Amino acid sequence: MIFVDHNNLFHNFQKINKKFDYLKLKNEITQKRSLVQMIRYSGTEFTTDKKIIFKLKRFEMALNKAGIITKTVFIKILSSGKRVEKEIDVKIATDMVAYGFKNCYDTAVLISGDGDFKPAIEWLKQLNKKIEIWTFKKSLSRRLEAIVDKNNIFYIDDYLNEIERV
pTM for this structure?
A: 0.89
Taking only the tens place, the pLDDT of each residue in 63-119 is: 888 889 999 887 777 778 777 666 889 999 999 999 999 999 999 999 999 999 999
pLDDT at 54: 72
pLDDT at 47: 65
| Residue 51 structural domain | 2-163
Q: Is the pLDDT of residue 162 over 70?
A: yes
Chain-wide mean pLDDT for the chain? 90
CATH at 139: 3.40.50.1010
Q: Domain total for the chain?
A: 1
Give the Cα-Cα-Cα angle 142, 143, 147 (nearest 5 degrees).
110
